[in-house]
Chain A
Amino acid sequence: MGYHFHFAPIWSAIPDIWSAVGVAALVALTIIPLAFGIGTAAALAAEYGGRRTKLAIAIYVEAMRNSPSLVKMYFIFLGLPSLGLFPSPFWSGVIALALHNGGYVTEIVRGGLAAVNRTEVQAAASLGFSWFDTQRTIVLPQALRFSLPSLTNVWVEMIKDTSLTSALAVKELFYLMTALVSSTLRSFEILIVFAAIYFAMTTLFAIAMKIVELRTRWK
């Protein structure tokens, strides 16, 4: 093995790496509340809505689950200009991933809603709770708690998918990685460092979610 490691080019790129980590984190942290909002709203609508609402939500979920997130990114970034809309690379990526991820969140929250005891809803009704208060204080807290482990899974997938926004020239980690490889030609070292950064991001996120899970136990 005559390979000599040279990490020097990477050290000099640390400021760039930091800002790329920042962009990736910003993309992910913008998507989580969006996807969470979309998913929760859609799940509630599917649970309580009429037949047409249910059908619309089902179509939305299937449209998201059965094609790559890249399709939605290109659809927004390259497709919407045909309609006279020109979303920025950042927002194209964020909206596409939020919609894509929201489809999975919908399914998960629906499962969570189904796991809440219907009898507790009746108990709330018999105490005079309004529908809104019943959802907010009795049903959703439990449904979302049941959903946490699965939400962690799909959000880890989503964090990894933020690397695909490089295809729209969002200057996140993978974008910087390919740029550094072609400018320094130290592909092996760069690969190790960037894989480690991604690994740290997904692992830290999963650990944080686990802590939330443990802190919110009631059984």
Chain B
Amino acid sequence: MIEITALKKSYDARTIIDGITLSVPKGTVCGVLGPSGSGKSTLLRCVNFLEPYEGGEIRVDGELVGYELDNGRRALKPRREIARMRSECCMVFQQFNLFSHMAALDNVAIALVKVRGLKAPEAREKAEALLAKVGLSNRKDAYPAFLSGGEQQRVAIARALAMQPKVLLLDEVTSALDPERAAEVLDVIATLGREGMTMMMVTHQVHFAREVCRHMVFLDEGRIVEDGGPDMLARPKTQRLRSFLRHLRLA
């Protein structure tokens, strides 16, 4: 579903992603680990084309992200195309980023109206079903400021699911939450994984990652240092991953 080939990305002179090749088959969950500054968030943001990239390519469902090839030369896709592709692989953010002037239900429904062109009543009906799925039917009229972090993040997931994306990108979605709240959110993600949603998730929750992810990559300094199955974390092969895991355990 996601094919990343020799991806390169830099800010000014600083290289953030230095040749990453990665494949996430349909219906699988790929965990991305790495110390801060390793480029893992940037990697997700490139897949959503919130960041442009200079080298290599990203394909989602076979389609090149952000660019089109014109006689072998890369050109930016039209804005509308970029927007459409983004709505097919939605991102969930560490800080939730809910629309603060809209109640939970409208947060989920608004993109259905604006992006998918649904009528408002129909959009709200779908939104209610999604809020029920993440266990928040009773909070649908609450504004984000009145929701707990865990509730906000579940609304954000429902908001992304509303687009019926081919791929869900999860960027440290539990890092801003205390363990109890994080568990609520992780439950929702585990369910999605069992239902066959293709996901790429950046996380520090090692135990959770082992349960949910079929495939894992460990990034450092913009490169994949190690990749493998869930047992990769139990038997790290590289010194770099071993010391990373040790730090995580201490933290």
Contacts and interface: CB of A to CB of B under 8 A. Distances in A.
**Chain B interface extent, by class:** 20 to 34
A123 B111 CA distance: 10
Contacts of B88: 128
B194 interface: no
Contacts of B98: 120, 123
Contacts of A192: none
Contact of A117 (B48, B86, B100, B156): B100
Contacts of A141: 101
Given A122-B50, A127-B86, A128-B87, A142 B100 contact: yes
Interface string A102-139: 00000000000000010110111111111101000110
Contacts of B79: 130-131
Interface string B47-68: 0101000000000000000000
Nearest to A144: B101
A120 B86 contact: no
Nearest to A126: B91
Given A128-B83, A128-B86, A129-B115, A218 B145 contact: yes
Nearest to B162: A127
Given A119-B95, A137-B110, A125 B115 contact: no
B143 A218 contact: yes
Contacts of A138: 99
Chain A residues touching B, majority SS: helix
Contacts of B99: 120, 123-124, 138
Interface in B84-108: 84-88, 90-91, 93, 95, 97-103
B101 A126 contact: no
B114 interface: yes
A145 interface: yes
Given A119-B93, A130-B80, A137-B110, A125 B100 contact: no
B92 to A, nearest CB: 9
A172 B75 CA distance: 60
Nearest to B48: A126
Contacts of B80: 130
A219 interface: yes
27 contacts: A117-B97, A117-B100, A119-B95, A120-B97, A122-B50, A123-B91, A123-B97, A123-B98, A127-B86, A127-B87, A127-B111, A127-B160, A128-B83, A128-B85, A128-B111, A128-B115, A128-B163, A130-B79, A130-B80, A130-B83, A130-B114, A142-B101, A218-B101, A218-B143, A218-B145, A219-B100, A219-B145
